[in-house]
Amino acid sequence: MSELRNVTAALLAGGLGTRLRTVLPHRPKALAQVRGRPFLACLLDQLAAAGVRHAVLCTGHLGEQVQAEVGNAYGPLRLAYSQESAPLGTAGALRLALPLLNSDSALVMNGDSFCDVDLNAFWRWHRERGAKASLVLAKVADTSRYGRVNVSADGAVLRFHEKGRESGPGWINAGIYLIARSLLETIPAQRAVSLERDMFPAWVGHGLYGYQTEGRFLDIGTPEAYAMAEQFFA
């Protein structure tokens, strides 16, 4: 039986998708078509294959389209929805969804990126370290578009570098996290808060770890990157 069976997943699918408006004017990013299916289906497939059975979709702009298309179940996954009435950022969306997150730690995924990582191995690694929060880190040829993450020998996060500061190969935040409920409760409620800009930097030195994987990574946040999705999932 999967160790993730009793862990609630949260998919952050509430972004406005402003950079994709030229190619996706009337649909949320999570429903961007890739090989005839919504991008969100790739993430739900990954969760289902890892043994996750309950997921909360954190939606916002055009969120009713997501619920109408995906429904309340996807294969073995039971789905619930938490929809923002105004943009709350990645952390604010999780804080809003907290009543629906029924496990001691939540498995969180960005709704506009994919990393080919063994989620059960990530869970075991997180538990072995007694981490409060862990990020999957992907290795890319050029970190300038994403920002860079430095970790110690045992994986503790040491520092985040902003986008555009450093180029060349390195480790980036791949948009998959395990976060203890006790940390989620510290996120300010009912206002816009970013995991990446506000919460993660504040958690450095307080049980925040980075799990390095060589798995392939794709972020569909720009028209150029979205154009690569068909080939990526071929």
Output the pTM of the full model: 0.95
Arithmetic mean of pLDDT over the chain: 93
Instruction: Check pLDDT > 90 for residue 185.
Output: yes
Kindly provide the b/e burial profile for residues 204-216, where b requires at least 16 CB atoms within 10 angstroms of the residue's own CB. Answer: eeebbbbbbbeee
Residue 52 tokens read as: 């996750």
Instruction: Check pLDDT > 90 for residue 46.
Output: yes
User: Other C-beta atoms within 10 Å of 224: how many?
Assistant: 10
* Percentage of residues in the chain having pLDDT higher than 90: 82
Instruction: Check pLDDT > 70 for residue 8.
Output: yes
Query: What is the per-residue pLDDT across 190-200, written as a single tens digit (0 to 9) for each?
Result: 999 999 999 99
Residue 222 pLDDT? 87
Mean pLDDT of 185-209: 96
Q: Dihedral, CA atoms, 76, 10, 66, 46, nearest 10 degrees? A: -50
Q: How confident is the model at residue 61 (pLDDT cuts 50, 70, 90)?
A: confident
| Residue pair 99/185 in contact by the 8 Å Cβ criterion | no
Query: Catalytic: 139?
Result: no
Instruction: Check pLDDT > 70 for residue 1.
Output: no
Domains located in the chain, CATH noted: 8-138+173-232 (3.90.550.10)
Query: Of the residues 29, 132, 139, 163, which is catalytic?
Result: 163
| Residue pair 93/82 in contact by the 8 Å Cβ criterion | yes
Instruction: Check pLDDT > 70 for residue 189.
Output: yes
Residue 17 pLDDT? 61
Residue 165 pLDDT? 78
User: Which CA distances in Å does 103 have to 47, 75, 98, 106?
Assistant: 15, 21, 10, 6
Exposed/middle/buried for residue 116 (C-beta within 10 Å: 0-12, 13-18, 19+): middle
Mean pLDDT of 57-81: 95
